[in-house]
Amino acid sequence: MKILRLSIAFLLVALVASLSAKAQKEVSIGGLVSASSYIGDFNSSGIIYKPGVYAGGLIHYAITEYYNLRVGLGAGNLRGDPSTYKGRLKPNVPNQKPAAFNHRFFDADARFEVGFLPYEPFLYDHKKYAFSPYFSLGVGVAYSHGAPFLQFPVAVGARYRVAYRFTLGAEWTFRKTFNDSLDGWENVRASESKSLSNNDWVSYVGVYLTYQLSDKGCCHELKK
């Protein structure tokens, strides 16, 4: 619980920093929609398994043309069915029985993004600094199946300047959760730590659109 409280505090600090008046010249806001899926005891290998729908909002703060701080939150659903699982179910809870599920999932996170090419949403030259693939890593909190828990999001994606101030992005996010009961099945031996041996993940594949709040670019002079 101490780690969970620290993560919540980190998210709040990141959100306040992103929305501060000083940072508004580099802040973008937007929304995203994704297909959500679960990876765990009922699904040990499928990447897109019984997809649900996930939607949310995000705030980008451009540190440089390569680096961004991102804060996001959203909600969706996760589904699973033990009749289709390909893994092994080893219960450690008496009388535990696998059952199909469809749970709501809420989360919030803060990430650090590293772009592989310089990106700028304002230049009038439509080809210059208009595209960049990126990698991101962060920390977050989530709530599902009646309990909050810690998670670590890892994502790969790409962004493209589709119009003045507007950025269209696509990304694939994996969230390593510190929760082994998203599917209602605790697959842990008594001698093992739940945090280290759990195998429940959440995967999102989707797109987002953001709008830059200011007409000032991050790192380059505008060329009209």
Q: Is 216 in contact with 42 (CB distance < 8 Å)?
A: no
For the chain, the average pLDDT equals 78
Q: Which of 52, 14, 16, 57 has its CA nearest to residue 36?
A: 52
Helix, strand, or coil (residue 195): helix
Distance CA 224, CA 84 (A): 57
CA atoms within 13 A on the CB side of 12: 6
Residue 45: half-sphere exposure toward Cβ, Cα within 13 Å: 5
The alpha helices in the chain, defined as continuous H runs, are 2-19, 194-197
The pLDDT > 90 percentage for the chain reads 38
In tens, the pLDDT along 137-193 reads 999 999 987 788 899 999 999 999 998 889 999 999 999 988 877 877 766 544 444
**All structural domains of the chain:** 2-25+33-212 (2.40.160.20)
Going residue by residue through the chain (224 aa), what tens digit of pLDDT does each one get? 555 555 555 555 555 554 554 444 578 999 999 999 888 777 766 677 788 899 999 999 888 889 999 999 999 998 888 776 655 566 555 666 777 888 898 999 999 999 999 998 877 666 788 999 999 999 999 998 778 889 999 999 999 999 888 999 999 999 998 887 787 776 654 444 454 456 688 899 999 999 998 765 555 554 44
**Whose CA is closest to 211, among 28, 63, 55, 31?**
28
